[in-house]
Amino acid sequence: MGFGLLVQDMIYDDILYSDPDQVQVATRPWDDKFMKASDRLNTQKAFQGLVRNNVTDAFESGTREQVNLEDLLSLLRGKDMAKYEEYKAKYLDDGVLRFLDKKPITSEKVAFMTFPRSGNTFLRKYMEIISGVPTGSDMPHFSPMPLHACGLIGEHIVDERCWIVKTHH
């Protein structure tokens, strides 16, 4: 295990404090921005209602509301602005991503399969902002902590919780 992975494990285990970007770490908080990982998960809106799986390092919905993919696809294909405004008020305006409801995906599942450094993460984030649903990733990161800090809460998830999944050649 490398030193960086050890530090990330210590952050997730609440041994160390970190800044919001998880770039700086300390044994005690330097200011009000330094928090333990559990405090960040409980207090920051982007992480509230999520539970971290200690085995896979993936987030799970916990108490967070979930989205139905068929309803989302109907909305994206439709022209009903009143329906869109209702969805927007319920799922998009608060900036909180919600996983799919784990119902079997009967339509096509989407894979962003590209070369590394080709803008894949940018496209994922853009799709998350549009849909309000996290994108998944099958990449073998030892720890997805830096991507979690950027709001990509679908790391290590390829099941029915995500409609779009990232991979590389």
Q: Identify the residue whose tokens are 């916990």.
A: 62
- pLDDT tens track for 88-121: 999 888 888 999 999 999 988 999 999 988 988 8
What's the Rg (C-alpha) of the chain? 17
- pLDDT tens track for 56-67: 878 888 788 899
- Are 128 and 67 in contact by the 8 Å Cβ rule? The answer is no
DSSP letter at 88? I
Note if the pTM is more than 0.85: no
Q: How far is CA 53 from CA 22, 34, 106, in A?
A: 19, 23, 27
Longest Cα separation, the chain: 53
Q: Which residues, at least 6 apart from 2, have a Cβ–Cβ distance to it below 8 Å?
A: 142
Mean pLDDT of 127-148: 82
pLDDT band at 166 (very low <50, low <70, confident <90, very high): very high
